[in-house]
Amino acid sequence: MDASLVLAEADDHLSILKEPLVGEEVAILTDAPNVPPQITRKHRTKMVVNLEVTEVVKRMADGVDYTFWTFGGSVPGKFIRVRQGDLVEFHLANHPSSKMPHNIDLHAVTGPGGGAASSFTTPGHESEFSFTALNPGLFVYHCATAPVGMHIANGMYGLILVEPKEGLPKVDKEFYVMQGDFYTKGKYGEAGLQPFSMEKAIKEDADYVVFNGSVGALTGDNAITADVGDTVRLFVGNGGPNLVSSFHVIGEIFDKVYTEGGLGTPNKNVQTTLVPAGGSAICEFRLDTSGTFILVDHSIFRAFNKGAIGMLKVGGGDEATNKIVYSGKTDDRIYQPEGGAIQIIPQTARKPAKAANKGERIERGKITYTQVCSVCHQANGKGIPAAFPPLAKSDYLNRSIDDSISALVNGIAGEVTVNGAKFNSIMPKLDLSDDDVSNVLTYVYSQWDNNGTEVTPDMVKKVRAKAVKPLNTGH
């Protein structure tokens, strides 16, 4: 990038900060597919955003429920709209019924972690921080509490729009559409309350790929609507956590696409636009004829077999003119999900690290601990109070080797008591080989005044075979 452009942008940021701050507003937050009103004011203000985190059981598909972790009670989270230069005072509350601590990383924030460190909030607490919206654009926000992928995969993402100082051009209709991929223990359509599968998430083997949090969230009676002649603006986001979206509206061509959420010069006459995980796009088009237009991820099996499908129903217009634009008749039925079996592609097994003795187990276990465990339990093994239990001098670990192994290979949920303190969070099932588990536990047992046990792969195999469930009490 030209150095003069960098300096110009830096000067622009400084000039924004010198503008007077006038008044205060409480942000209007909306659930998808709705969008807050366009901003018409021409000055900076203090914008107060109040957002609550809740963990709720909701519909994933017909007959299928899922425990979503949400910003505001729905997936995606609330749409936030501010103006470039606004001082955003952000309040993040974590409902007392939550089992996990949460935070928020807003890609619109200029500052470490996008606000994540400043907003770490345990259940029953509220955090506050502020930032100045320096850059205009459409930005993703998401939870960044460890394990980050699990929080995002459970639905903790949304969009924040920073309108430019001059505002966005007026359009007739604006809608909020956000894609996400979900990973469940049961296959697509398997009935009941489905738990999250860490194993599938790591393999990026999604059971559901959906718009706005569930299969059918934008179809049938839930379809978005407009009229012939309307100009439409779609704020499109992709929470991921893994898959890139190939966003397309069947039967329409985007007149303008602001790629990756930036508000520079748009691409024109675009058929399909890529929306990266953790990214966005703004798609604008004029409706020239009536009918039902189908929104899809054009990685097409995701649309017809995993749920990434929506509808834009367009009415009105002069019949003769409509027929000139397109003479045929739209039939919704041809676009209904086809069902069918999901193809299974064999996975190449990961070769486990082989350690010949206790010293090598400790050495290799330290690597695994640093890569997998330290974000929650910390490099010193002391954990995070009220969030993640300590591994240092842990009565839980030293009481039962089998329970410790089972916690890694089977996961653990519910209240546990460690060193006299109660914790009520979730330890996900980890995708670790028998050797990895033996190495990392041998390392942990050798540290921080633990009892020095050497855990072998054979010990891990025996626990897997018995499917031992770890204790969840201090007794």
pLDDT single digits (tens) 419-432: 999 888 778 777 78
Q: 38, 30 in Cβ contact below 8 A? A: no
- Residue 145 makes CB contacts below 8 A (sequence gap 6+) with 100, 101, 102, 103, 116, 120, 151
- Give the mean pLDDT of 114-126: 96
Residue 473 is predicted with a pLDDT of: 47
Residue 328 is predicted with a pLDDT of: 58
Report whether pLDDT(305) > 90. yes
Q: 272, 236 in Cβ contact below 8 A? A: no
Highest-scoring range by mean pLDDT, 179-193, 378-392, 455-469? 179-193
Report whether pLDDT(354) > 90. no
Burial 436-472 (b: 16+ CB within 10 A, else e): bbbbbbbbbbbbeebeebbbbbebbeebeeeebebbb
Is 107 labelled a binding residue?
Answer: yes
pLDDT band (50, 70, 90) for residue 332: very low
Kindly report the number of other CB atoms within 10 A of residue 322's CB atom: 17
Bigger pLDDT: 350 vs 120: 120
Residue 334 is predicted with a pLDDT of: 37
Structural domains in the chain?
17-170 (2.60.40.420), 178-315 (2.60.40.420), 358-466 (1.10.760.10)
Distances (CA, A) of 292 to 219, 220, 333: 10, 10, 11
Amino acid at 396: Y
Report whether pLDDT(333) > 90. no
Is 151 labelled a binding residue?
Answer: yes
Residues in the chain: 475
- The mean-pLDDT minimum among 21-25, 161-165, 172-176, 323-327 falls in 323-327
Is 13 labelled a binding residue?
Answer: no
What does pLDDT average to over the chain? 89
Say which DSSP state 328 is in: S
What is the rounded CA–CA span in Å between residue 248 and residue 236? 11
Residue 467 is predicted with a pLDDT of: 67
pLDDT band (50, 70, 90) for residue 447: very high
Report whether pLDDT(250) > 50. yes
Q: Which of 109, 208, 212 is nearest to 157 (CA)?
A: 212
pLDDT band (50, 70, 90) for residue 342: very low
Report whether pLDDT(5) > 90. no
Bigger pLDDT: 101 vs 374: 101
Report whether pLDDT(162) > 60. yes
Say which DSSP state 198 is in: H
Residue 329 is predicted with a pLDDT of: 43
Residue 386 is predicted with a pLDDT of: 77
Report whether pLDDT(277) > 50. yes
Report whether pLDDT(198) > 50. yes
Report whether pLDDT(109) > 90. yes
